[in-house]
Amino acid sequence: EKNLSKKNKCIVIGGGIGGYTAAIRAARLGGQITLVEQAEIGGTCLNWGCIPFKLLLQSASVASTVNKAKEFGIKTGPPEVDYAALISRKNQVVAELRKGVQSLVKAKRIRLVVGSAELFDGNRVEVTSKKNATASVEEIQSDRVIIATGSKSSSIPIPGLDKVKAQNSDDFLNSRTMPSSTIIIGGGVIGVELAQILNGLGGSVTILELQNQVIPGFDKEIADILESELKQQGVTIIKGVLISGAAMSKNKLKKIVTFKIDGKEQTISADEIVVAVGREPVMSGVSPQKLGLDLNNVPMKGIKVNCHMETNLSNVYAVGDVTGEIMLAHVASAQAEVAAYNALRDEAARPKVMDYKSIPSCVYTSPEVAFVGLTEEQTMKKVDVEVGRFPFSASGKARLLGEIGGMVKIIADKKYGEVLGVHIIGSRATDMIAEAVLGMNMEITIDELANTVHPHPTLSEGVMEAALSLSGGAIHIP
């Protein structure tokens, strides 16, 4: 790739997946790039979020497989969890991946500065670095700035949570011991994944969720199946709760949460409380009021950007969780590609546009959950739709894997047959959803999807069969 602009100096603030992707892309375009990170390169996703959580989920899955070995004709004893070794493995893998990102940055001759950045305008950033308790300040001049400061765990104003020292997801991942019983406040993606980690490793888990379904925002039929599966595995789920406070038990051995459900006050106790109510943008080094930087109000107060990832400040772009848009790692990467191109493009070149039409969302529980497009609840308010379903209980591959829970659900426009949403709950759903993402990007119809030959035996046949149920009838269901 070649340099697109004469003005090619670019500072990226934040070394998470949005930041380092923007830096690498801008460097490939010929830019002179400075990447500023105050903690660990790789950001939340690599160090405290996606990767560590999936590593622990994989360990829980291995334990579950050992427990079910007898079903597959394999004799073994019950698994013994070495939590300290599990955490050590997590830290080792994260360190290896972080080293890999560092090597990519170095290979592209990106200058990596470890320190806290303060943005003054689209051409000037000050970086404060500390070494051996001595602070130094460097002023860096630039043609463009890309803000990628990420997000942090959200908190909630529940009386007593601070006194009982409730954890957030970051605290949990840094702990070297596993509690025998845990109350998780929040049944969203983070909450259900955390619940399955703890439950799969032998802990007792209760989820308290404010709304009337787990993983709010997902298709309710799919969410209800996940809830049923989690309950069968031993997770207690209480929905529609209004939490009023937290306190220590009289003997100081347990943490107690008080809540109301249907107007009746109840209490529950456990060794630990983890708050998992989502994440919020970090404005570290960026003072919106001082800079006059516009913010979003919906879905949360992040930096407002247009479809080119430009802020209202000249020469300043923003990507990732700090925008408060769709707070997912793959969205941050896609936004970074757009921002880097537009920051370095020649003014005569057409800018790239960020398209949110086909963004997949995933939950890495067992069974996995993934979807792209509209939920059935959303489509019912907009267009006349038809819904196709294929249960994995009718899949040969799911049977031989012993993973028959779940299904593929496809929502299509009844008039034109265009696929509007694909929802999968089952083994490897997060891998299979990519087919639906590609199809929806190409405005695929039900007939086209149904007539696409899929390999046998695979779980992906479920996507074809769900489409066939709306196009002449599925083969393997009556």
Spatial distance between the Cα atoms of 459 and 408, rounded to a whole number of angstroms: 10
Contact 276, 207 (CB under 8 A): no
Contact 311, 317 (CB under 8 A): yes
The vertex-108 CA angle with 102 and 114, nearest 5°, equals: 45
Contact 432, 460 (CB under 8 A): yes
Query: Quick one: DSSP state of residue 45?
Result: H
Residue 117, SS3 per DSSP: strand
Alpha helix positions (H), 29-82:
43-47, 50-67
**Catalytic-labelled residue, pool 308, 423, 454, 456:** 456
Contact 147, 316 (CB under 8 A): yes
Provide CB contacts within 8 A for 336, sequence distance 6+: 17, 18, 19, 21, 22, 25, 146, 148, 319, 320
Spatial distance between the Cα atoms of 86 and 72, rounded to a whole number of angstroms: 25
Residue 457, SS3 per DSSP: coil
Through-space distance between the first and last CA atoms of the chain, rounded to whole angstroms: 54
Q: What share of the chain is helix, strand, coil (3-state, %, to 5)?
A: 35, 25, 40
476 is catalytic: no
Nearest Cα residue to 26 out of 198, 144, 191: 144
Residues that are catalytic: 456
